A and B are shown apart, each in its own frame.
Chain A
Amino acid sequence: MTARRFDAMVIGGGLVGSAIAWGLRREGLSVALLDEGDAAYRASRGNFGLVWVQSKGLGAPWYQRWTRQSAESWAELANDLAKQTGQSLGLSQPGGLHLCLSDREMNERAERLEQMKREAGNYGFEYRMLDAREAREMLPGLGPAVVGASFTPYDGHVSPLALLRSLHHSFTALGGVYLPNVKITGIATAPRNFLLDTNLGTIQAERAVLAAGLGNATLASHFGLKAPVRPQRGQVLVTERTRAALPMPTTTIRQTGEGSIMLGDSVEEVGFDTRQTQPVMAEIAHRAALCFPWIGKLNVVRAWSALRVMSPDGLPIYDQSETLPGAYTANCHSGVTLAAAHGKLLAPMIARGALDPFLTPFSAERF
């Protein structure tokens, strides 16, 4: 059987892979996007949906800047996609708050953001620490337990499911080839020549981008790459829909365009266990009700857990293979926030044939 040939194959049809495949297609490359199917862990179906800047990149200004660049490109990404699909992503970037429930949390937060501003250098980093009264003016309904908050103007949120669907839709409309339910049965590699045997036939491409989330950990070595990612569980609760009540998101609470309140941001190291647990759900609900007492009176209608794709230091990994030029890997736990960077900045680099030097600190060689 003859191979189907492409300029690039992207392995992984979640948010990271879809954004890169979309960007490569926009650069004029022929692209195959290979998606495993629902046997995969599907982090992109469990996302919280923040486009978030203010907590990211402490001690790693290159990550702070990458995140900011993505947030600043997000409106353009949303416009590009909406023009093609006719579907709104519900993007809103009014800035965001991180709520503090004790003086200690407030002090730690102030130190963290002061350090981030220092590290941003002449790139700049706008933020404000708000006392309880100021925070209440920005977010009516805050409870007495909230002692203050930090604010940055860069933050926002979006519907992650609409994003995923729009990327797939737009990629296909641009002429990209989306291949779902792919099982890879064989991998043959040479510089700028990658051959995959799959249940859908043989696929050949000059470039291979590994964006398979947790699957990258085992895929990478076949391409002369390393992707030391591990699962980190997060749990999410969703309430019934209400009238518009939250004009901006917080780190752990946001109201969707349709009116649901999402509560989340738990962190657990439990391997590939995707179950939900009562103590964590109770803690998420308890903290949300401390922040906004009225949330405690709402019904929770859905809840789920998902596995973040986490590197040893929590930062993304972007790499290009030394031994097999043409092979790249992209790994991160912020597929929503970084979607604009992946589609509009990273993909053009891969199309040109090399990652820009400012991405070098993201190489897996740092581990």
Chain B
Amino acid sequence: MFRTRPDHRPETVQVFVEGRALMVPEGSSAAAAILISGLSSIRETAVSGSPRLPWCMMGVCFDCLAEIDGVANRQACMVQVAVGMRIARQHGAREVPR
């Protein structure tokens, strides 16, 4: 559904979305990486379990919540990709970190 624009950002970095290696433009958000990966959802909502993908891409809607490098509930649209970043599905509400 989404394609990159190599004309703008030719440099790429490798990240992992749900364990799958993916090359994305340098400077992209993790949410962009999720959209490029073609996944049908990245989280299930905390209350009803409804599947979601990134939506507003500007830090407002919280539909892009993902586990990034082991940290739960991060807003993927507010995180810039880094080499080797691991972006994983957020299953409902996070566990409490004890």
* 1/0 contact string of A79-107 vs chain B (CB within 8 Å): 00000000000000000000000000000
Q: Which one of A241, A259, A297 contacts B97 once the chains associate, using CB atoms below 8 Å?
A: A297
- Determine the main DSSP class of B at the interface with A: loop
- Does A273 touch B at the CB level, under 8 Å? no
What's the least CB distance linking A303 to chain B, in Å? 15
Binds A, one of B3-11, B20-28, B88-96: B88-96
List residues 243-268 of chain A with CB under 8 A from any CB of chain B. 243, 245, 258-259
A240 touches B98 (CB 8 A): no
- Does B73 touch A at the CB level, under 8 Å? yes
- Does A301 touch B at the CB level, under 8 Å? yes
Contacts of A297 in B (CB 8 A): 97
Give A6 to B65 CA distance when docked, in angstroms: 51
- Does B1 touch A at the CB level, under 8 Å? no
List residues 228-249 of chain A with CB under 8 A from any CB of chain B. 240-243, 245
Q: Which one of A243, A258, A301 contacts B95 once the chains associate, using CB atoms below 8 Å?
A: A243
- Interface size for B (C-beta < 8 A) is 11
- Does A28 touch B at the CB level, under 8 Å? no
List residues 132-181 of chain A with CB under 8 A from any CB of chain B. 141
B98 touches A259 (CB 8 A): no
Give A243 to B92 CA distance when docked, in angstroms: 8
B73 touches A240 (CB 8 A): yes
A299 touches B73 (CB 8 A): yes
Contacts of A241 in B (CB 8 A): 46-47, 73, 93-94
B46, B95, B96 interface centre (most CB from chain A within 10 Å)? B96
* 1/0 contact string of B23-59 vs chain A (CB within 8 Å): 0000000000000000000000011000000000000
Contacts of B96 in A (CB 8 A): 141, 242-243, 245, 294
Size range of the chain A interface in the assembly: 10 to 19
- Does B62 touch A at the CB level, under 8 Å? yes
B47 touches A301 (CB 8 A): no
B98 touches A242 (CB 8 A): no
Contacts of A258 in B (CB 8 A): 46-47
Contacts of A294 in B (CB 8 A): 96-98
Give A205 to B62 CA distance when docked, in angstroms: 47
A301 touches B62 (CB 8 A): yes
CB-CB nearest in chain A for B47: A258
Contacts of B94 in A (CB 8 A): 240-243
What's the least CB distance linking B2 to chain A, in Å? 27
What's the least CB distance linking A263 to chain B, in Å? 15
What's the least CB distance linking B19 to chain A, in Å? 23
Residues of A within 8 A of B (CB): 141, 240-243, 245, 258-259, 294, 297-299, 301
Q: Can you pick out 17 interface pairs between chain A and chain B where the beta carbons lie within 8 Å of each other?
A: A240-B73, A240-B94, A241-B73, A242-B93, A242-B95, A242-B96, A243-B92, A243-B93, A243-B94, A245-B96, A258-B47, A259-B46, A259-B47, A294-B97, A294-B98, A297-B97, A301-B62
Given pairs A240-B73, A243-B93, 11 additional interface contacts (CB within 8 A)? A241-B47, A241-B93, A242-B94, A243-B94, A243-B95, A258-B46, A259-B47, A294-B98, A297-B97, A298-B97, A299-B73
